[in-house]
């Protein structure tokens, strides 16, 4: 009988493909969201520009759960991390 507390197993890092399957979106959408800081990601750099992105599914799930949905089911930005509408629609609004 051991009195030592149980340590949780370390979560493995997941690839963009794993996250895409988990969220049912494309790999490209996962990478774009990571670059825009919409999904928590861990970039691993080898060289100046090349990045390999790794994710933890639990972090992605928490980030998505923190975003709330309005009655139309559209995600609402929290802390200014998600822009409302496309860049084109924002440009048209600013031009009048």
What are the pLDDT digits (tens) for 25-75?
Answer: 999 999 999 999 999 999 988 777 778 999 999 999 999 888 754 334 544
Report in angstroms the alpha-carbon separations of 78 from 13, 45, 54, 61: 25, 28, 23, 15
Is 70 contained in some domain? Answer: yes
Query: Whose CA is closest to 67, among 91, 35, 37?
Result: 37
- 49: tokens are 């520009």
Q: Look up the domain containing 44 and give its range.
A: 16-95
Mean pLDDT, residues 3-7 taken together: 61
Is 88 contained in some domain? Answer: yes
Is 4 contained in some domain? Answer: no
How many separate domains does the chain show? 1
Is 49 contained in some domain? Answer: yes
What per-residue confidence (pLDDT) applies to 34?
Answer: 93
Question: Which residues neighbour 82 within 8 Å (Cβ) at sequence distance 6 or greater?
Answer: 38, 67, 75, 76
Res. 24 pLDDT band, cuts 50 70 90: very high
Query: Tokens 């980030």 appear where?
Result: 63
């Amino acid at each position: 009988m051991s009195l030592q507390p149980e340590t949780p197993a370390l979560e493995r890092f997941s690839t963009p493909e794993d996250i895409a399957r988990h969220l049912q979106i494309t790999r490209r959408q996962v990478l774009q969201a990571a670059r825009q800081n919409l999904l928590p990601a861990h970039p691993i750099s080898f060289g100046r520009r090349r990045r390999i992105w790794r994710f933890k599914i639990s972090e992605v799930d928490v980030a998505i759960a923190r975003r709330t949905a309005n009655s139309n089911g559209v995600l609402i930005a929290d802390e200014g991390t998600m822009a409302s509408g496309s860049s084109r629609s924002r440009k048209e609004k600013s031009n009048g």
